[in-house]
Structure 1
């Protein structure tokens, strides 16, 4: 993959009505000055109007959307601005000179006609570059992929401002000097820019310059599927913030036997997925998705439910399994939708019992225990804290969709937990809230902000030596950014990204994993051991925080189940309103936990048990609960995962053979491609 230099973060100015008000006042002043006419006021009002337009396009596009909904989009505003300048010219020149401005007015009209032609051409170019398939890690050069046209040609607002600026400036100069040559020069420059832009787009519409059409692309897709012969796939559909649900399964998927494939439904999700060597296919349309039926793909793994899941379940040649994106005691972990899948794969006996008790239609014979292959990165318990500070990870979950007060501790208990931890001078707090915190209940978002303020205030009261900056973190960051670079140039579109990512890089995922580990080591080494941390974003990962922590405090969530792989002490906040004994009985993940009440009473005793193993009465219970939740240590989770895939693949093949005699034979062109094969890739006729 070519080196991409990440763009610096764009400054975002909070949307306020003041710029819009200034723009309206500027137009009113320009109209008044044009009718008077008043040259100084006209120049000042026009300049302010143009400056505000540029500001809005750069920093506050939301206001532009409001103008557009009021039918005052950028074209209307720009035409009005130039029209007022023409009115001023006519008023200043008098009736005997009106005819002398006719060529200028004609040139201005020609410019706006070209602007309309460019917009029409840009729409056509965008349509030709919107393929029915988006790929990554797949050689799609046969689709005639090419770099995208300049961003200026694809956005009408900035384009009109830039291309029309010479014309507007020329007209304004003529108003000030009465020299028509200045307006002619400005209009000539604008016309020249417009002609060049239109020519650039027109060339991209030539048959040999545009990407493959829909029919050609679908034929290529069929050929690629027949050549690659996928056996097992990961199917995912979701919003922009849900990519982590698929990312956690990428490495286990890559280690499976056979030829794995990732199937997505949303175009933006192609770039949201983390580094992987596995081929990625995005099939937005249902009709395109159905072409998988003619492929060798037999098993689809689903880490989440979505509205589009029902579409792929219609493909009869596939077997489907639900693996979820985490193990928790919440009702959402036993969604009735799970009965739509052929099998449900869970970590251990606890989830099997959970489905049996939930009675959501999932039969016990369809539940398969595979463990959690992702947890290999979690380091085991190595004893009590050895340093000066006890590192505590507070990782509450979000509020969920059902409004259950027991979902998250942030609202009722978060501040109390943090205050109790900060009160201990030997505690170092890592606060990592769920990324969706506050997305449903504003109270959770407000509590999250208050918790961050408490941590910042506590850090201001602490002091101590800071590690010397030897540049290691900067070097590791640059290396990791280089390897994981998916930040393309601003003008890149999906076709250009496909072109840049069309060549699979063997071992890239392994290199990313190694670079990530090195970055995390450098990150933690760069921080003083006494300083509390607010951990946000993708780096460092939750598992990295696990490995740096001596104690976890969380809610009833998959975080607890994953942390149990370490064998370290943990606590769960009870904000459900249930009595402690009922709370433990209701949620198996709490059986080996210290239960915290909303007031965080008992925090000193909890910290003491972490520091002194003799006071830790729950150590044996944690080991037993680990086996109950995550299954045995042998065989490994990855081995059990692979065994489950192999068994489901065989079931799919057997069903295909049973139904083959009752279906209409495929046409000869398809019959040659539909050879059966084993999971390891051995084809048979």
Structure 2
């Protein structure tokens, strides 16, 4: 028997009520936004923000936007910024930790309504979440990808970059990487070099942090990645042996900084992470100076400030460390991860599983002889540009201002050529409606 209209309506109401209860009490699968938006209060209003940062993820991915807080606060001081989320838990965390204005928008139609009467010009994104397309639809904004790190991982040249009008990158190395590995993409026209604003405070803190009596080796691996081709992490294959060898040598203080997502896809990574933490917690302290330990600060700056040498994987941490000018050792993955040829990976000593028996000797040679220092300092400029504290933040703000000016010029051109009505609507027009657009 076909369902009656009344029965169908009842089922919809039950599903809607059940969904609200699930969202309200946080009974959602990890990574699923709760959709508890401020839509009712936002509909029919406008806002004063020139810049919108769209972050569709849940709290598990907060580390991706957290590293941009300082730069976004500096931008907000000159051009009002709002962070738009799809999850009320994420909103609370960002408001608490960043001090930025944050709005939770559950439905595309709400964003369409507000932007249609607001002066927002620029949208920024810190990842490639598929939900970004809910905001990328608005043709009256300029859209720029910031991402959450610059590295020689092939995932940094994802074809998804083409969805954005521009891509903010650290330095010329990133432009060359995009030009080489992204087909049909004009990297020289669409990449904007801004340096790494995140390094400004890191370098200031490092300059004022006293050195310990023993060299500190920072082991800062990446996670296992979302798929085998991006499995650059070394925690499960290298980690325990690296840490144990350096501690047992008695010559170094060891500081371990795990990636926040370690172990979410491959259990062996989580097991190795736990083993390293437990070992360092129980290992005898060095004869002089601070104890060995695990660093879980939200900010990378304290760990960088304390370290004299970095052991890391192919990741954004390697690029950021270049700013310090100090020695670096980069592991090589065991599995099927694809490694791009790059100046840094060709220069930095490679640590393979077969080399782990001599990891303490390798660290000793790099600290005492540092044979690649001069070339590494040249690479610093190539990868990061001007690393004088404050320079990158200024470049970031100026880049945002240029893109807003480009947007204004383009809107004026289209209005003059096609008429005012063509630029009034923020959206490029969706025939699918709110529910289709946000599923």
**Which bracket does the TM-score occupy, shorter chain normalised?**
0.7 to 0.9
User: What pairs up with 1:417-432 in 2 under 5 angstroms?
Assistant: 417-432=242-257
Question: What CA distance in whole angstroms lies between the structure 2 residues aligned with 1:532 and 1:606?
Answer: 20
User: What pairs up with 1:75-474 in 2 under 5 angstroms?
Assistant: 132-133=37-38, 214=40, 217-219=42-44, 221-222=45-46, 225=47, 229-256=48-75, 257-273=78-94, 275-291=97-113, 292-364=115-187, 365-379=189-203, 387-404=212-229, 407-459=232-284, 462=285
Q: Considering only CA atoms, is the larger Rg found in Structure 1 or Structure 2?
A: 1
Indicate which of 595, 600, 613 corresponds to 2:356. 600
- CA distance 1:293–1:337, shift in 2 (3 Å): farther
Q: TM-score, normalised by structure 1?
A: 0.52
Higher helix share goes to which structure?
Answer: 1
Indicate which of 627, 643, 657 corresponds to 2:398. 643
Q: Is the 8 A contact 1:236 1:263 kept in 2?
A: yes
Question: What CA distance in whole angstroms lies between the structure 2 residues aligned with 1:280 and 1:452?
Answer: 35
| 1:555 paired residue number | 313
Cα shift at 1:533:
0.4
| 1:189 paired residue number | none
| 1:675 paired residue number | none
Q: Is the 8 A contact 2:211 2:306 kept in 1?
A: no
Q: TM-score, normalised by structure 2?
A: 0.79
- CA distance 1:571–1:587, shift in 2 (3 Å): same
Q: Is the 8 A contact 1:415 1:447 kept in 2?
A: yes
- CA distance 1:588–1:664, shift in 2 (3 Å): same
Cα deviation digits, residues 347-382 of structure 1 (max 9, x gap): 001110111111244312111111011101223777
Cα shift at 1:625:
1.3
Q: Is the 8 A contact 2:228 2:335 kept in 1?
A: no
Question: What CA distance in whole angstroms lies between the structure 2 residues aligned with 1:286 and 1:278?
Answer: 22
Cα shift at 1:386:
5.4
Cα deviation digits, residues 206-230 of structure 1 (max 9, x gap): xxxxxxxx3x6423x32xx1xxx32
Question: What CA distance in whole angstroms lies between the structure 2 residues aligned with 1:559 and 1:388?
Answer: 25
Cα shift at 1:258:
2.0
Cα shift at 1:243:
0.9
Question: What CA distance in whole angstroms lies between the structure 2 residues aligned with 1:320 and 1:568?
Answer: 36
Question: What CA distance in whole angstroms lies between the structure 1 residues aligned with 2:223 and 2:286?
Answer: 32
Cα shift at 1:646:
1.3
Q: Is the 8 A contact 1:131 1:217 kept in 2?
A: no
- CA distance 1:405–1:446, shift in 2 (3 Å): farther
Indicate which of 356, 372, 385 corresponds to 1:618. 372
Q: Is the 8 A contact 1:415 1:450 kept in 2?
A: yes
| Structure 1 unaligned regions, length at least 5 | 1-118, 135-213, 465-527, 672-685
| Structure 2 unaligned regions, length at least 5 | 1-16, 25-34, 426-439
Question: What CA distance in whole angstroms lies between the structure 2 residues aligned with 1:301 and 1:366?
Answer: 14
2:417 is aligned with 1:659:
no
Equivalent residues, number: 385
Question: What CA distance in whole angstroms lies between the structure 1 residues aligned with 2:394 and 2:305?
Answer: 24
Question: What CA distance in whole angstroms lies between the structure 2 residues aligned with 1:405 and 1:633?
Answer: 29
